Structure 1
Amino acid sequence: MNDRLTPLAADFDPASEDQWLALVEKVLKGKDPASTLVSKTADGIPVRPLHGPDDLPAGMARSVGAWPFTRGSAAVATAPSGWDIRQICDAPAPDQARAAIAADLAGGCTSIELRIDRERRISGDPPDGVVLASADDLRRVIDGIDRPDLHLSFDAGPFFVETAAMARELGLDGLALNADPLGAVALGDMPVDGAMASAVELACDGRSGWRTLRADGEVWHGAGTSDAQELAAVIATGIACLRALVERGMSAEKAARQIGFRLAVDTDFLSGIAKLRAARRLWAQVLGSCGIRNGSVEVEAITASRMLSRRDAWTNLLRTTVATFTAICGGARVISVLPHDWSLGYSSAKARRLARNIQIILMEESQLHRVIDPAGGAFAIESLCDALARQAWEGVQQIEAAGGMEKALVEGSVQETIARSRDARMKRIATNREPVIGVSRFPLLDDVVPETGRLDPDTLPDPAPVAGFEPIATPLARVRLAEGFERLRDLADARRAGDGERPCVFLACIGSLAEHGARASFARNSFEAGGIEAITSAPLDDATAAGRAFAESGCRIACICGSDERYLEEARAVAQALHDAGAEAVYLAGRESPELRGAGIDTFLNASSDLLSILEDAQSLLIGERP
């Protein structure tokens, strides 16, 4: 085998960035490259189209396995075993959970995480995880499964003390309890008083082989954080846990081994890789301040729940595939892929199989586990990682200045920061600057909802309801990016189920196909994102034909589609004809202009419109109900 590096660039003439920029300016025809080609992350970090050696941060880690472990904790690839393929079990009934775990282990998973039900015990809603009332229920979950294959992890939410007692009663060793008391407090699932103390008590009880604590980024990411905010939250949570353990008399080095981290990854490929790398660097920085220079952290990754849609749910398979690839390239050692039907209820066996097969294909066919730090040395990623780590560290310092994560949660400063980020993102979703494929863009009105797992309520244990407690004043609210548009779709479907008709809009197409085609497609896509079916006219010769076609369509609203030139010539007359024919609202697909103001156009629909608000108004008019 030839171990020499092949100089791939040697056969090409050398090129400079100035030469590249000159070619770019020629293509852009006078547009400013900085404003046209440079994008920004949700944290405001600029991402340029081209990076070079000068963009590498000073003092960056040059080798894998070296402090601060940005490039990973191991100087060798993870072959032959690869990363830990962890499946999350959310089957509510213990017997269903046991069957799901057996299938997952037989299908290639290397560990299982039991998600313990919160909703049923706290709010009385349908369960969102395994329902356990006693150690016997947990025994039923793992009964008959070959114990050496059962690498067990928990996501118990606020019930980590009870879950630990069940596991202790069964004599389970080597498990990860993953208690995140501050995450549970942030969600309003448990009182702040005593939350951290109860988790620390578990960590200090001397139980062999348990890892007790985990700072879970999914808690914060699912509430709408940016990447820097998620990093700041988990690192600040880790610091709070570390401080509490040391105050109980545990050494800093031993305490660090009791704390794990999990981050959410979505379809933002570059930022996701940078986030995972930055997490290792930041935690190494924290441990370094405690005199621990060999304290690497194995970061877990989970595909983000907020990116999953209920509509066109099959598209979630593409989202989770990108997110999984991101996690691998970012060096995650444990990866959990949420099934594509996760947001619809208890996942089906088919959905779980597809979820685990994403990882298996990337490992066994793509052989990605044999690559050491796939993103290492990439100028763009190294630069983004450095900027993200610095911004996240500023967030950590702000939380510490407020007295630590617990006090910051009580005062609400963390929630305020997250709310601003969440609102900004949801505004981008509403205006389609950040489209949700299959929902706000390219919607499928008659999509088929995947069949989820079935649940027999009679098979569920009956745990004691949670005693009343006072949560923090402003608990985090979970969000999904698609939920605003999906509410509109639900209203439209309910209308169709009630009287057999879906709300509709008449597209009045003026001029030839070349003149109206692009805007008619845009209007169709826009209205159908809200569940309003688009009825497209044939090319209309004049305003009279437009009014007659509208009257025959059965619609109550209309949208004019054509070229700018046609609008100047005909839009006023067409709008008047549509109103005369009974249109209760007339839209125009295009930009508002002085010439068209007062022309009978009620709403202009274009790429900068607040599409969600426009659709909510349309639904209110057509259905009489505003979501």
Structure 2
Amino acid sequence: MTIEKMKNTSFEKADFDQWKSLAVDSLKGKPFTKLTTNTLEGIDIHPLYYESCNHQNTSIIQQMKEERGWIIAQQTIADDATSFLELLKASIERGNESIVYDGTNPMNWNEDELKQLASLLTEYPSYMFNIDSGDSILRVFDLIRVESRDKVAGIVASNNWAVPEGYIKLRTRGADLWDIHHAGADAVTELAVSLATASKLATASNSFADFAAAFFVRFAIDTHFFMEIAKLRAFRILWKAFAKAYKIDDAPVIPLAAVTSIRSYSKLDPYVNLLRAGNETFAAVLGGADIITTHPHDILTGPSASSIRYSRNIQLVLREESHVGKVLDPAGGSYFIEKLTEELVRNTWTLFLEIENAGGIDGFLLDDHLLKLTAERNRELASGKKSLVGTNTYAELIEVELKDWNGIKKTERPAGMFESYRQKFATSQPETVILTFGQLKDFKPRADFVAGFLSTGGIHSKWSPAFTSANEAVAWLEKEKPDYAIVCANDETVQSVMQTLLNNRPAGIMLDVAGKFNDLLVAAWKEEGLTGTIYNGQDKIAKLQSIHELCKGGRHK
């Protein structure tokens, strides 16, 4: 085709009905609703978004963000104050832009170390979280001369600490959503709690201006990429509405700090955490966070110099390669994200009003709400509805280091179910075989599934030869004498061999079958000695525990 023909060629405009018709055809009989994903936030994620976005919301989001880009806030991780200062200076030379201190495991600071820190505080913004009012690091704010205190900017999250005079750029009262996020909160709950916390602080303050000048919000960013982008954008719209409720038309800009969540981190395959950290950091960038902290991939067991460097470089690479820091709202204009933002705003405001009607954040039964969300997350992970690569899917059969590092707040993580299981049964795994029948194409899908299923519990399995009859399998079992065997074949073959296997298998071998079969048929097999079934969507933790309970005394391989 010549360039002139290309210029004069036009295409018929496609509409949603045409797209839906093609989508339905591709589903081969499955319902169109199969393409819709339901979230814990009560939002349905549709397969296609084609309606124009709300430009008013985009305008609000841009008004509520003071500057383009973000501050790289790499946490300095050290065992003592001297090392902290050395590592802090080195990280600043390599791209870090701020002082980040976590008081979970406080250090002792002497006068000389505090003076060195004081000089840095007037040059770089500082972000200090989980600070006890008795932490010796807080004495640094008494050492800075009064005339230099207006140069100190950042956040110090410490309850019951009286801020010395002169620190007009230091924010000390806010909504740190780290705890409730790791207690199971979804995006709507985090946003609603941030507003409820703001309401409590504003009510106790002398004026809205005084409250807003000291207020900050810190969100933990999870791996639900688009939801987390929308969460940060939604807060800016909600904050504008919140201020308007206090009759403040020109809402002050509130800094949004973001930190990568460890709720989706796992000790079982820590290098996958590096990918999660990149996903979460980029979501924070696109969502418009002002300050971003990226946790090292091995933060759960103790970070190394290289993992700290990797986490810092995630932000540096994103800044240099994506250029998204050059615009105020990188995600603005995406129909999907705009719609998701709108739905988060609507659902959050409803929950916020519910919290307020219950007497505010102190009167609302938040713990009960979080327990329900946590239970649902755990169910989704245990059943495989949600994947955590390296943990509940594609698990590696290697020895894993499951120690805890005391430099970060202890949190409950969904992956903890699998970690505890692997640790408990690390030295008592049953000798396991997968009994295969027929041609490779007949049994391989189920055999692969079973091997993967068992590997999430650290159970090694080996495949048998491909048998042509049940008697061959029985003879092989007599020779191998495993603790546990799973029958893998197509449905027709399974039904033809099960009776012989059940009647003649060697004593002491636990026998399962892979796949979902008629309940009456399974019940009949169980009467003959079948232990159970393994199938997609099953509660893996419950099944794995059952295997070990029935295979006590199994040999470790």
Normalising by structure 1, what TM-score? 0.79
Q: Is the 8 A contact 2:155 2:216 kept in 1?
A: no
Alpha-carbon distance between aligned partners in 2 of 1:573 and 1:434, rounded to the nearest angstrom: 38
Instruction: Write out aligned runs for 1:379-458 (5 A).
Output: 379-408=335-364, 413-446=365-398
1:529–1:553 CA distance, 2 compared to 1 (3 A):
farther
2:462 alignment partner, one of 507, 528, 535? 535
- Specify every segment of 5 or more residues in structure 2 that has no aligned partner in the other structure, as ranges: 1-6
Instruction: Write out aligned runs for 1:177-576 (5 A).
Output: 177-179=155-157, 181=159, 198=160, 202=162, 207-244=167-204, 246=205, 249=206, 251-292=207-248, 293-345=250-302, 347-408=303-364, 413-446=365-398, 478-493=411-426, 495=427, 502-553=429-480, 555-576=482-503
Instruction: Write out aligned runs for 1:45-124 (5 A).
Output: 45-53=43-51, 56=53, 60-63=56-59, 69-71=60-62, 73-74=64-65, 78=68, 82-117=69-104
Q: Is the 8 A contact 1:83 1:332 kept in 2?
A: yes
Name the counterpart of 1:3: none
Kindly state the Cα deviation for residue 146 of structure 1 after the two structures are TM-superposed: 5.3
Alpha-carbon distance between aligned partners in 1 of 2:185 and 2:553, rounded to the nearest angstrom: 34
Alpha-carbon distance between aligned partners in 1 of 2:406 and 2:197, rounded to the nearest angstrom: 37
Kindly state the Cα deviation for residue 552 of structure 1 after the two structures are TM-superposed: 4.2
Any idea what the Cα deviations from partners look like across 1:535-569, whole Å, max 9, x if unmatched? 22121222233233334445311111111111121
Any idea what the Cα deviations from partners look like across 1:275-321, whole Å, max 9, x if unmatched? 11111111221112223223122211111111111011000011111
1:261 aligns to what SS in structure 2? strand
Name the counterpart of 1:142: 117
Amino acid at match of 1:480: R
Alpha-carbon distance between aligned partners in 2 of 1:11 and 1:116, rounded to the nearest angstrom: 63
Amino acid at match of 2:508: G
Alpha-carbon distance between aligned partners in 1 of 2:196 and 2:41, rounded to the nearest angstrom: 18
Kindly state the Cα deviation for residue 177 of structure 1 after the two structures are TM-superposed: 4.1
Q: Is the 8 A contact 2:114 2:137 kept in 1?
A: no
Name the counterpart of 1:608: 537
Any idea what the Cα deviations from partners look like across 1:168-225, whole Å, max 9, x if unmatched? 23328414343265xxxxxxxxxxxxxxxx35xx369554432112311221111111
Q: Is the 8 A contact 1:348 1:451 kept in 2?
A: no
Alpha-carbon distance between aligned partners in 2 of 1:484 and 1:452, rounded to the nearest angstrom: 15
- Given the alignment of the two structures, is residue 176 of structure 1 paired with residue 151 of structure 2, yes or no? no
Name the counterpart of 2:41: 43
Amino acid at match of 1:255: F
1:300 aligns to what SS in structure 2? strand
Alpha-carbon distance between aligned partners in 1 of 2:535 and 2:363, rounded to the nearest angstrom: 45
Amino acid at match of 1:597: A
Alpha-carbon distance between aligned partners in 2 of 1:590 and 1:603, rounded to the nearest angstrom: 10
Alpha-carbon distance between aligned partners in 2 of 1:147 and 1:286, rounded to the nearest angstrom: 32
1:33–1:342 CA distance, 2 compared to 1 (3 A):
same
Q: How many residues align?
A: 536
2:432 aligns to what SS in structure 1? strand
Amino acid at match of 1:61: N
1:111–1:318 CA distance, 2 compared to 1 (3 A):
same
1:572–1:91 CA distance, 2 compared to 1 (3 A):
farther
Amino acid at match of 2:42: G
- Given the alignment of the two structures, is residue 598 of structure 1 paired with residue 540 of structure 2, yes or no? no
Name the counterpart of 2:512: 587
Any idea what the Cα deviations from partners look like across 1:502-552, whole Å, max 9, x if unmatched? 443211112211111011111011111011111221212222332333344
Q: Is the 8 A contact 2:430 2:484 kept in 1?
A: no
Normalising by structure 2, what TM-score? 0.89
